[in-house]
Amino acid sequence: MQSRMSTYTVTVVPGDDSAPEAVRATLGVLNAMDLPIVFDVLPDGETFAKMDRAESEAFVRAAVDKSDTVLYGSTSGRTGGMAYLRWGRGTYANVRPIKWRPGLPSPLRQPEGIDYVIVRENIEDLYCGIEGNLAALLASGLDTRPWGGRIEARYPPSAASDGRFAVKIITRENTARAAHAACRLARQRKATGSPGRVTTAVKWNVLPRSDGYFRDVVRSVAAEYPDLELEDYLADDFARRLVADPYDLDVVLLPNLYGDILSDEGAATIGGLGVVPSGCYGEDFAYFEPVHGTAPDIAGRGIINPTATILSAAMLLEHLGLVDQATRLEAAVDAALAAHDRLTPDVGGPAGTGDFAAAVRERL
């Protein structure tokens, strides 16, 4: 008797601007794979734009709560659910593989061998969105003098300044969660031949009490993994290293803002934003999305590169335990890129989104 495979429900959120074009192309590939998955495909951003914010949020949230996991295109604000997926579901580790694949362009002379993973802490730092008027901060009683008044500043912020502030939050708990995720991943990769190294980067010299705290927590977590090596950098020096010497990197652990910025830099070395997938993982839930945004400048032209979304779908399959199917999908992407005949313009080709997706489908 044939054993029954479980059927999974995956919510697919097409998103805004160009993102739905990449998501539809990805669904075309997934539908050719005979997967034990029911896809619940939500409307595009244009439909959500007609709802009010609360209605759109509730709609996406209800779908997410009924599913095992989510493939999320990208949003510029019309499609809701992003904040719920991150903060509501506590997806604290955003895992972004930066791997050069044959066929992809690079501004580096030698992109061969670039293969590391950025783990970006996903729910803290400046991305908590706590901002306000400087006047309110000055009135709060917090000492706002540069360097606590140790130097008499010529141009300090004052009640007369028209200014704003933003708050950066780093907690031990969430830093440790992301650090454990990075260490577990480094262990997994070590088992298949990677060096077993976690590299972290912050501005601990300028921000000892926030960035320095992040670094201290990472150090204490890493001490629980004596089989791994911990390396740490100043964030600006690390930005240099990502371009000058990315070859020995294995797992890179960064706070939210630096992680966001530096992963776009890493992407540039391996073919650009169109090819970098990601997964956001929490304790009991994960969802998957390309690293890129909605690419509004090319919306409607049918040229968005679907590679990042297709590879995000491969990460999703792996998360569901469909490991063979994930491997098969990634191999088909690799073969289509290497064939180099139907690449999209962002990676130097003449083809459209659907043409590249067809090239992947044919190689499944």
Binding region for ligand ATP (CB under 6 A) out of 30-38, 157-165, 174-182, 296-304 = 296-304
Nearest residue to ligand ATP by CB is: 293
Selected binder of ligand ATP within 29, 295, 313, 315 (CB under 6 A): 295
Residue 266 lies near ligand ATP (rule: CB under 6 A): no
CA of residue 29 relative to chain centroid, distance: 22
Q: Which of 308, 311, 329, 360 binds ligand ATP (CB under 6 A)?
A: 308
Give the shortest CB-207-to-ligand ATP separation in angstroms.
Answer: 23
Contact 80, 48 (CB under 8 A): yes
Please state, in angstroms and rounded to a whole number, the distance separating the CA atoms of residues 289 and 193.
27
Site membership for ligand ATP, residue 304 (CB under 6 A):
yes
Q: Which of 25, 298, 357, 359 binds ligand ATP (CB under 6 A)?
A: 298
What's the DSSP call for residue 155?
S
346 sits near ligand ATP (criterion: CB under 6 A): yes
- DSSP characters for 76-116? SSSS--HHIIIIITT--EEEEEEE--TT---SSS--TT-EE
| Interaction of residue 107 with ligand ATP, rule CB under 6 A | no
Pick from 275, 264, 276, 288: nearest CA to 349: 275
Give the Cα separation of 74 and 210 in Å (integer): 30
Contacting range for ligand ATP; rule: CB under 6 A; set: 63-71, 144-152, 162-170, 302-310:
302-310
Range in contact with ligand ATP (rule: CB under 6 A) among 38-46, 160-168, 188-196, 293-301: 293-301
Q: Which is nearer to ligand ATP, 308 or 359 (CB)?
A: 308
Smallest gap from residue 144 Cβ to ligand ATP (A): 29
Residue ranges in 18-77 that form contacts with ligand ATP under rule CB under 6 A: 22
Min separation Cβ 76 and ligand ATP, Å: 7
The angle at the Cα of 177, spanning 173 to 180, to the nearest 5 degrees, equals 135
**Quick one: how far is CA 129 from the chain centroid?**
18
Contact pick of 199, 200, 256, 294 for ligand ATP (by CB under 6 A):
294
Dihedral Cα 363, 306, 199, 91, nearest 10 deg: -110
Classified as helix, coil or strand, 183 is helix
We find the least distance from the C-beta atom of residue 17 to ligand ATP, in angstroms, to be 7
Q: How far is the CB of 86 from ligand ATP (least distance, A)?
A: 13
Give the shortest CB-275-to-ligand ATP separation in angstroms: 8
CA–CA gap between residue 49 and residue 41 (Å, rounded): 17
**261 vs 364, beta carbon nearer ligand ATP:** 261
Distance CA 66, CA 352 (A): 34
Minimum Å distance from CB 297 to ligand ATP? Answer: 5
CB 286, CB 280: distance < 8 Å? yes
* 273 makes contact with ligand ATP (CB under 6 A): yes
The β-bridge partners of 229 are 197
**112-131 binders of ligand ATP (CB under 6 A):** none
Please say whether the beta carbons of 357 and 26 come within 8 A: yes
Nearer to ligand ATP among residue 285 and residue 356 (C-beta): 356
Residue 109 identity: R
Q: Which is nearer to ligand ATP, 218 or 303 (CB)?
A: 303
Instruction: Report strand pairing: 197-202 vs 251-254.
Output: parallel
Q: Does 274 bind ligand ATP (CB under 6 A)?
A: yes
To which residue do tokens 């960035």 refer?
211
- DSSP at 246: -
Tokens of 329: 């999908």
CB of 259 to ligand ATP, least distance (A): 12
Residues contributing to the site for ligand ATP (CB under 6 A): 22, 273-274, 292-295, 297-298, 304-305, 308, 346
